[in-house]
Structure formats: C-alpha cells, structure tokens
C-alpha cells in the first residue's frame, strides 16, 4: 500500500511518466500505422505535430522510454566451488535467452568478490573486486555484495544505462525485458521482507523525517533492474546501512540472514527511490508451481518429493534437488527427472540444469 503522503510526493513525476508512456504508446502506434498504410496519406492526417515533442524530449527520458533499453547483467559471486557451478549454469542460460526476441539483456559481468581471479575467467566475463577487510563481514559473507557493487561501479566501464543485480542461483527461463520504467526500478517483492512489521528497527536507519516506513519496499537488491546512475548513489549507502545494521545487535538478531536485503530496501528509500514490484520477475520452486510468463527461476529452496510426487518439504525426499547437496562441487550431469506429479516449475528447473551441464565443456572437472 502506498501511503497518501508518499503518493502526493510521487505523483507529479508519476503523472509525467504516465503521460510520456501514453505519448510513446501513441507514437509507436502511429509509427506502426505509418509503416503499414499508405505513408503519404497517413502523414498528412497526423501532420508534423507528433514529431516535435520527441525531438524536444530530454535526452534521459527519451532513453528511458525508447524501445531499446539494454541492461547489464551483474552477478556477484565468490570463487567457492558452490558459487562457481551455479554461475556457470546461470551464464549458460543468460547467453541463450539474450538471443531470444523480447530480451533487453546487454552485457554480462560476474563480479567476483574474492579478491583474485579464478579458473572461470576465460569462460565467464569477470571483474575481480576485493572482499571486505578481514573481520568486517562478521562472518556474514553477503555483506560483501554491496561492497562489490561499490567497487565495480567505480572502476568498471559499463556501457548500458541499466543494471540487473542477479545471483548465481538464478536461471533465466524466459527472455528478460527491461522491467524498469525510467527512474522507477523494478524489483521482486519478497513475502518475508516486511518493513512495516519492523517499524521500530527500520526507524533506526530510516528516521521519520524521511517519510513513512511504507516508503521502504519489501525487496532485496536482487533481482532488481535499476538505472546505473541510481545504483551508483544507492550502493555506498547500502554498504553503510548493511554494516550499521550488522553492528546493532537488535537489528542483527531480528533480520538475521536477510539483513543485507533490508539494508538495500532502506538505502534505496533513503535516496527516494521506489521500485515497481513485479511478482512475475521470478518464481521460487517448490512454492511456485508454474513458470508461465515469468522470467527467472530462483532455486534457493530445496525441492523434496516422495516418489508419488508429494512435497515433503523439511524432510529429505525420495527424490530431491537441493543446491545445498552440492556445496563442495558441481552436481553430476543428467540428474534424474522428478517423479510424475511434481510441479512444472521443478521439472523445468531440473531440465534446465541438465541442459546446461550437458553443454558446458568440462563440467565434471570443475571445482
């Protein structure tokens, strides 16, 4: 729910965007008509009025609503075997989906925050950054993510104006378009990120003068598609907020393993950035059953089933796929498909893993 005060603040920009969007929809339609009909006659009917505003449109807005808005895929990763095999599968599906109609995917970078190159640098475009100074991550390795983004954004040359923050356990299941709209980034709403239920803690980092707690979106940093210029501002704040949250025992205890997600949500709100929430951004088997028109499969949860195809979550299944079964090396090629009755999302996931591992040279000897 958007609070009325927030709405009041956002609405002029929103209205402008809406108007622009409408204008471009009309403009595209008109262009289409021009292409498909007798050109001269249609041009006369429309006159030259539609062309002028386009020329006068500020450069930045033109880019944000134009048809080609590629985003750079940025994958934060470590050199651990567990991270590596997931990155290889992720990159395989990126390459495949990038070529499919409807994709706005641009370049790809594995932002490797272990400080040293590893044996995948020839297979996957990689940018090496430093981990946090020893001890600073307090044993919570994902605190390295914001720091990795800060370094990468500062040092790398990134061609695209937009960035997708992705993770190794993401598989592109459909060609991903740029879901952001101008300065409104797109994010996936996580049901377990509840800023309004944690108002007291959120207020330690998002003081009242910044606005209502509802300004803090129920999201993490990934998946998010955002303008590079916005992320350049948010990333340092995200890093600071993460460290401050980790340093506060009450916050650390309350947020636990999702602390760095809250930190991103708060940091973006501190910069006045609100996200378009896209539930179709990704699915999380075994909870989501169908792929449909969604874009990413996130295989963070274990999938455990009986041979009758019944979910046995929390209990080791007779059939299972769980990334945590492969902490020390890659899963073998050609995993057994799930028994009949298992949801399409899980079947698709295993088939996609199998396709990737069958086609990645030297799969078995990767570690």
DSSP symbols for 307-348:
TTS-B-TTS--SEEE-GGGGSSSPPPSSPPPPPTTS-HHHHH
- In the bound state with ligand NAG, the residue whose beta carbon lies nearer, of 75 and 239, is 239
Are 84 and 120 spatial neighbours (Cβ–Cβ below 8 Å)?
A: yes
**How far apart, in whole angstroms, are the C-alpha atoms of residue 236 and residue 241?**
9
**Closest distance between ligand NAG and the C-beta of residue 269, in Å?**
14
For 347, the token pair is 């079947």
Q: Does 339 bind ligand NAG (CB under 6 A)?
A: no
Judged by CB under 6 A, the residue of 50, 174, 240, 366 near ligand NAG is 240
Q: Quote the CA–CA distance of 208 and 216 in Å, as a whole number.
A: 12
Query: Does residue 211 sit in helix, strand or coil?
Result: coil
Nearer to ligand NAG, 165 or 179 (CB): 165
The length of the chain in residues reads 367
Q: Which stretch binds ligand NAG (CB under 6 A): 65-73, 85-93, 233-241, 301-309?
A: 233-241
Closer residue to ligand NAG, CB minimum distance, 188 or 305:
305
- Contact status: 334 vs ligand NAG (CB under 6 A): yes
Closest contact distance (angstroms) between CB of 133 and ligand NAG is 13
* Min CB(236)–ligand NAG separation in Å: 4
Least gap, CB of 80 to ligand NAG (angstroms): 27
Q: Does residue number 336 form part of the binding site for ligand NAG (CB under 6 A)? A: yes
Residue 359 sits in the site that holds ligand NAG (CB under 6 A):
no
Closer residue to ligand NAG in complex, CB, 86/237? 237
The binder of ligand NAG chosen from 107, 182, 212, 236 (CB under 6 A): 236
Strand residues in the chain grouped as ranges (E): 71-77, 105-112, 126-128, 162-166, 170-172, 186-187, 224-227, 276-277, 282-283, 296-298, 303-305, 319-321
What six digits make up the tokens of 167? 């993770």
Instruction: Give the distance between the most distant pair of CA atoms in the chain.
Output: 71
Report in angstroms how near the CB of residue 221 gets to ligand NAG at its nearest: 16
Given 215, 237, 251, 357, the residue binding ligand NAG (CB under 6 A): 237
Question: What is the 8-class DSSP label of residue 165?
Answer: E
| Residues engaged in binding ligand NAG (CB under 6 A) | 236-237, 240, 334, 336
């Amino acid at each position: 729910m958007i609070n009325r005060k927030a709405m009041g603040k956002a609405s002029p920009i929103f209205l402008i965007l809406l108007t622009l969007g409408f204008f471009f929809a009309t403009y595209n339609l008109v262009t289409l008509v021009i292409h498909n009909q007798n050109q001269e006659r249609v041009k006369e009917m429309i006159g030259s009025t539609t062309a002028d505003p386009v020329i006068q449109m500020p450069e930045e807005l033109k880019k944000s609503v134009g048809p080609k808005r590629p985003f750079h895929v940025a994958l934060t990763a470590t050199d651990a075997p567990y991270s590596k095999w997931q990155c290889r599968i992720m990159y395989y599906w990126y390459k495949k989906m990038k070529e499919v109609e409807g994709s706005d995917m641009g370049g790809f970078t594995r932002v490797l925050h272990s400080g040293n190159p590893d044996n995948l640098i020839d297979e996957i475009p990689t940018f090496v950054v430093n981990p946090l100074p020893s001890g600073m991550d307090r044993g919570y390795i994902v605190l390295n993510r914001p720091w990795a983004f800060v370094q990468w954004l500062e040092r790398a040359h990134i061609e695209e104006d937009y960035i997708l923050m992705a993770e190794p356990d993401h598989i592109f299941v459909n060609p991903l378009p740029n879901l952001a709209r101008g300065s409104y980034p797109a994010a996936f709403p996580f049901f377990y990120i509840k800023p309004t239920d944690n108002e007291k803690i959120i207020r330690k980092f998002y003081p009242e003068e910044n606005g209502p707690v509802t300004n803090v979106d129920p999201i993490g940093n990934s998946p998010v598609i955002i303008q590079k210029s916005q992320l350049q501002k948010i990333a340092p704040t995200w890093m600071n907020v993460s460290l401050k949250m980790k340093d506060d025992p009450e916050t650390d205890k309350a947020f636990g393993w999702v602390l760095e997600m809250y930190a991103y949500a708060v940091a973006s709100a501190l910069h006045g950035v609100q996200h378009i929430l896209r539930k179709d951004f990704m699915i999380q088997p075994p909870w989501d059953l169908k792929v449909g028109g969604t874009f990413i499969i996130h295989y963070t949860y274990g999938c455990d089933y009986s041979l009758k195809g019944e979910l046995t979550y929390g209990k080791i299944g007779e059939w299972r796929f769980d990334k945590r079964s492969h902490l020390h090396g890659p899963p073998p090629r050609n995993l057994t498909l799930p028994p009949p009755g298992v949801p399409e999302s899980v079947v698709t996931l295993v088939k996609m893993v199998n396709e990737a591992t069958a086609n990645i040279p030297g799969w078995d000897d990767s570690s």
